[in-house]
Amino acid sequence: MLADALSAPPDARPIGVFDSGLGGLTVLRALIDLLPTSPTIYFGDTGRFPYGPKPADEVLKYSLEISDVLIDRGVKMLVIGCNSATSVALDALATRYEIPVIGVVEPGVRAAAAVTETGRVGVIGTVGTIASGAYQRVARLEGVDLTCAACPGFVEFVESGDVDSDQVHVLAERLLEPVRRADIDTLILGCTHYPLLARTLGDVMGPDVVLVSSADETAFEALRLIGTDRDSAVAIGSHHFITSGDPQVFAELGSRFLGPEVRNVEGWQWS
């Protein structure tokens, strides 16, 4: 099978990734690290950010619109890099397109299920993600005892560049109380922005709780589906970015989430 993969002609089509804004760049980071030769297109819907507090039908509509744009650009796989969008749109997108569509919820829960020793797992996410019940549904299938906590306010702190001030600590102490009380040994970071808060979250949860990032697990899922990282004849894949917000701001702030690859930012206007 490995020999087949290595002799297969390279597939130069990009992987499409989208998010409500910049946070999905944490998922793209993991993808690039694992599939360095694959070209990517990232759509950040910064102009309509955030998705977390919005009603499910609105987030579904936005997800369909963005995915159509990425499909028109010829992507070979669609990665929903946003937990809030995955929670309400994964099934609809997977039915709509012929290419593989993956989200961040299932990979995160599967990784937690593999890590936990007690079977007691926590997940933190936006209000929309937790209210959708998506993590709870997957956890039931995986036989995991899940405790959930919505964390309004975390995203705003990360967006403002504050990831470890006293205020963030105090908020984390309060919002994480339900998962701390549940005596979990594993915590899923069910939001694109939370890996940037890992230090604060780790402090509050203590050293006995393992933090699981959906971003890394989603990249492994993409690698499993693609089968090889020999996707292109080039040594390093090219990366293109589209934003419905200000391209210059996207490029500046994007490097906080992704690193130096944020160039080629195209502005997008919703009609």
Instruction: List, by residue number, the catalytic residues.
Output: 82, 191
Tell me the number of residues near ligand DGL by CB under 6 A: 17
Q: Residue 206: left (phi > 0), alpha (psi -120 to 50), or beta?
A: left
Q: How far is the CB of 153 from ligand DGL (least distance, A)?
A: 11
Nearer to ligand DGL, 191 or 204 (CB): 191
Nearer to ligand DGL, 83 or 243 (CB): 83
Q: Which stretch binds ligand DGL (CB under 6 A): 79-87, 202-210, 240-248, 260-268?
A: 79-87
The verdict on 25 binding ligand DGL (CB under 6 A) reads no
Residues 140-199 touching ligand DGL, rule: CB under 6 A, are 155, 191-193
- Applying CB under 6 A, among 16, 17, 18, 20 the residue interacting with ligand DGL is 20
User: By CB neighbour count within 10 A (0-12 exposed, 13-18 middle, 19+ buried), where does 228 fall?
Assistant: middle
Query: Do residues 133 and 200 touch, judged by C-beta distance below 8 A?
Result: no
Q: Which stretch binds ligand DGL (CB under 6 A): 20-28, 36-44, 108-116, 142-150?
A: 20-28
The verdict on 250 binding ligand DGL (CB under 6 A) reads no
The verdict on 247 binding ligand DGL (CB under 6 A) reads no
Nearer to ligand DGL, 19 or 217 (CB): 19
The residue number whose beta carbon is nearest to ligand DGL equals 52
Nearer to ligand DGL, 4 or 57 (CB): 57
- Applying CB under 6 A, among 14, 16, 23, 39 the residue interacting with ligand DGL is 23
- Applying CB under 6 A, among 26, 46, 84, 213 the residue interacting with ligand DGL is 84
Positions that interact with ligand DGL (CB under 6 A) = 19-21, 23, 49-52, 82-84, 126, 129, 155, 191-193
